[in-house]
A and B are shown apart, each in its own frame.
Chain A
Amino acid sequence: MSKILEIKGLSAGYGSLRVIHDLDLIIETGERVGIVGLNGHGKTTLFYAIAGLTHWQRGSIIIDGKQIGRTRSQGPGRYTHLVVKEGLAIMPQGDEIFHGLTVEEHLDSGAFTPESWKNRKQKREEILEIFEPLKKLIHTPVGRLSGGERRMVSIGRGMMSEAKVYMADEPTLGLAPKIGKGLLEALLKIDLKNSAMIIAEQNVALLEGKVDRIIGMHAGKLKGEASSSLSMGLKN
């Protein structure tokens, strides 16, 4: 197996605040990795640092052999579109949606590579098969959907492109347990041929047995690692 994502010595933060401390992480092709940790321990910041959305960062991030990390001190998001084009699909936490676009347009906006833009109709069909409830809402502005439906749209948007690394940030946060489980199932349906997936979660039990590895995150560092069946002893 080859390494699809290799992070070495990554530090990142906002202003004078350092959130990620010299973090190393290697993810192989085809792996599904869960990152668990409490609020405020840097899960989202780790994703943002990979995408270049933190205020500053340093360290090396290699996606599929290509260096996307750089030492930067300002301009969050300045290079994010370039990083995303290297094959990063981010399914962000919470309501990072375009409230005035219809579900259809919203899904299209996730097709960032030229090929996926060409195949967007077919991709959309595939996603609607997974998220049945969206079928009826295809021409509704996303701003009118319920929380669960919005999350489906936001995850569906991440699935529109052939990404190399999928990063789902707390996909179940704030949703009813049943809907949350359904969303997670949908995430696990993504075919990881030449790609890998990282799922950040607070709820270890949800990921248990479903991902290949679970890594704990504490105070900006990755702590301990377990195959997902052993994960219960992993708090901290």
Chain B
Amino acid sequence: MNDIVFLLINGITVACIYGLVAVAVSITWSALGLLNLSYGFIFSFAGYGAWLAERHLWGEPIFVLFMGIAAGVVGGVLVCLLVFIPVHDKPNFTIRGMIGTLAVSLIGGQILLQSFGPKAKLLPEFFGYSKIKILDVTLTADKIGVIISSIIMLTLVVKWMKSSRRGLEIRAMMMNPHAASIVGIGVRKTGIYVMAVTGAMTGLSAALLSQTYYLSPFSGLTPMIKGVSIALLGGLGSVRGAVIAAIILGFNEALTTKFIGGRYVLITQFTLIIIVLIFRPRGIAGILDKAREA
């Protein structure tokens, strides 16, 4: 019993961290048509932003966490200015966008390596070291903190998308970019909003992961690969699909680590994704969708 609850908590923690990146990938893809491969860079960028803030500004953990999110926003807007705005209306935008964001990711990673060196950095524990015991299961503060802060972030983003004017514009652009420009929605301006919000999500995820693992110039690559694969499983473009996919893959990761071994996580993960995509080519979102297309 203990073991199972422990596994569940682990699965959910992992799902929260990667789910944030996955939702970011998903929103960017459907709103801007950009498969943003630079989330790895934004991830490390945000991590180093938080680390610098801790060293030079103020060591208070919650402040550091918020600085991580802020650095994520800066990173997102930077990628938007460097890649999305110059190429979004050129022919073959999808491929160019992919190459451009990949280039930003690689060059950016090298710049981080140059500036901070290869030595891994560690962020402070944001949520303290206290432990709670519920039904014989010990929950550490950091796991609870990860779960709660990710849920708050996701709720805020979804609420904002549902109720604000900008959110309406973004959703409109996700559904029909051509009609969106007809009703006066500017692609470039919306692009900056989208990248800022998804950057914030990536920043949170970076801060949360770097406190338990470590931070290095390329530590964002694995979360990005996981994020993209979760987004694929969820059906690119669907926030709900991405959340469900994150939970499924989070459990998969926890279960695989427990019963088969940590080395096999990617194998089981991609097998799962392939199986789902064979039967549901549009991912989990294909099951959820209620409205017919176009």
A residues neighboring B (CB under 8 Å): 51, 53, 74-78, 80-82, 84-85, 90, 92, 95-101, 105, 108-110, 112, 117, 141-144, 157
The answer on a CB contact under 8 Å between B168 and A105 is yes
Asked if B135 is at the interface (CB within 8 A of a chain A CB), the reply is no
Asked if residues A99 and B181 are in contact (CB atoms below 8 Å), the reply is no
How many Å from the CB of B292 to the closest CB on chain A? 5
Q: In the assembled complex, which residues on chain A have CB atoms less than 8 Å from the CB atom of B253?
A: none
How big is chain B's contact interface, by range?
20 to 34
Given contacts A76-B89, A105-B168, contact A112 B291 (CB under 8 A): no
B186 touching A144 by the CB < 8 A rule?
no
What number of A-B contacts does a CB cutoff of 8 Å give?
A: 88
Residue of A80, A84, A100, A110 near B175 (CB, 8 A) is A100
Known: A77-B187, A98-B175, A100-B171. A53 touches B181 (CB 8 A): yes
Given A76-B89, A108-B168, A109-B168 in contact, is the A99-B182 Cβ separation under 8 Å?
no
Q: Are B90 and A109 in contact (CB under 8 A)?
A: no
A96–B182 touching, CB < 8 Å: yes
Say yes or no: is B133 at the interface (Cβ < 8 Å to chain A). Answer: no
Q: Does any Cβ of A come within 8 Å of B179's Cβ?
A: yes
B119 interface residue (CB < 8 Å to A): no
**A98-B182 in contact (CB<8A):** no
Minimum C-beta distance from A102 to chain B (A): 10
From residue A70, how far is it (CB to closest CB) to chain B in Å? 15
Q: Which residues of B contact A141 (CB under 8 A)?
A: 290-291
B142 within 8 A of A: no
Q: Which residues from A are CB-within-8-Å of B187? A: 77-78, 81
Most buried by B among A81, A85, A92: A81
- Contact A101-B184, Cβ < 8 Å, known A95-B294, A96-B179, A141-B290: no
Question: A98 and B292: CB pair below 8 A?
Answer: no
Chain B residues, CB < 8 A from A80: 181-182, 184
7 closest Cβ pairs, A-B complex = A143-B291, A84-B184, A112-B184, A75-B89, A81-B186, A96-B179, A98-B175
Do A144 and B291 touch (CB < 8 A)? yes
